[in-house]
Amino acid sequence: MPLRLKSIGWLAVLAGVALAAPIQAQDAYPSKPVTMIVPFAPGGTADLLARMVAQQLTERLGQPFVVENRTGAGGRIGTELLKNAAPDGYTVGFGSVSTHGSVVSMVADLPYDPIADFTPIAKIGTIPSAMIVKADFPANTVDEFIALAKEKPGEFNFGSAGIGTNQHLGGELFNILAGVEMVHVAYQDQGMVTNDLTNGNVQVTFNTLFNALGQIEAGNFKALAVATDERWPTLPDVPTMTEAGIPGFEISTWLGLFGPVGMPEEIVGKLNSEVNAILSDTAFADQMAKSGALPLVGTPDDLETWVKQQIALWHDVVEKSGIGPQ
């Protein structure tokens, strides 16, 4: 009889260990590498910011946060992969205006719902845009550009990294506000836009400062105006669009961190806390600002609210421009 009681006692201990094991594993998150899907090409705005954040998370949490570029369809391919991933916290991904904002109004058969199919984790940053032309382009101001474009209606092209991206909608909005007729040319990634702007196949792009600052500083491109409400600190001689005579043209893209729907709240909370700590670090924020981006700190609910506002905003722009879903 005592032997039986002793066995039962050991079984109780083992059962307790078994019950505690999942909690311990959960508390140890992450206990293995985490994949971070970037639905855009290497070298672009989202990719560079994602790698900066991934490096910091790797250092802070002791497990590799591995950036995986899954490109195509303006970011929709990688975003759909994220939607279908296991919601265990080991696959997360980045979303932007073209995957979680304007895409709702631009794509007729969107394979995911930006709100219902994802778990919002954290805001990352906002990236203001600028009107960029080649350094030797004959126009040095927005007015001069408009005059040239009106002389050749339909002959000026503006490039973007895909239909429904901020660059695309920015160009369409410029057509409306400036009264010109530029033709949109969509590319698979930002690198192709840059190449064709250099080659003269497109005359202008409404690129992010994050992507364009290096080329501007190198003297390859020039900014005719920044699409912000104030002049950019590192480009003090470049006017805002409002100063250049195009009021209401304030465009920036943004980046947020998402997971598949159904992620555990404790993992979401941990990632949100770590990302906010990274973005609040002065040195990291300065690094972002020098590259043309500004950090955004907030809760998962803040990111969800932001996405809803972006969907509404770009629906209005698409409707007014008459682009229609593709």
Q: What residues in the chain have per-residue pLDDT under 70?
A: 1-27, 324-326
At 264, list the tokens: 């555990």
- The Cα–Cα gap between 139 and 208 comes to 20
The residue to which tokens 């391919």 are assigned: 77
129 CB contacts (<8 Å, ≥6 apart)? 166, 167, 170, 206, 207, 208, 209, 226, 227, 251, 252, 253
Residue 27: predicted pLDDT: 58
Q: Which residue has the tokens 């949100």?
A: 272
pLDDT one-digit tens code per residue, 294-316 = 899 999 999 999 999 889 888 87
Cβ atoms 156, 182 nearer than 8 A: yes
Q: What is the pLDDT of residue 237?
A: 95
CATH architecture group of domain 35-127+252-321: 3-Layer(aba) Sandwich (3.40)
- pLDDT at residue 10, as a whole number: 43
Burial class (CB in 10 A: 0-12, 13-18, 19+), 87: middle
Domain borders along the chain are 35-127+252-321, 128-226
pLDDT in tens, 117-175: 999 999 999 888 999 999 999 999 999 999 999 999 999 999 998 777 788 889 988 99
Q: Which residues pair with 253 in a beta bridge?
A: 127
Same topology between domain 35-127+252-321 and domain 128-226: yes
Q: Answer positive or negative: Cα dihedral of 188, 190, 195, 198.
A: positive
Residue 264 CA to residue 22 CA, distance in Å, equals: 13
Cα 166–chain centre separation = 10
DSSP string, 264-325: -HHHHHHHHHHHHHHHH-HHHHHHHHHHT-EE----HHHHHHHHHHHHHHHHHHHHHHT---
Q: Which CATH number fits domain 128-226: 3.20.20.140, 3.40.1190.20, 3.40.30.10, 3.40.190.10?
A: 3.40.190.10
Q: What is the pLDDT of residue 60?
A: 97
User: Under a CB-based contact definition with an 8 Å cutoff, are residues 248 and 161 in contact?
Assistant: no
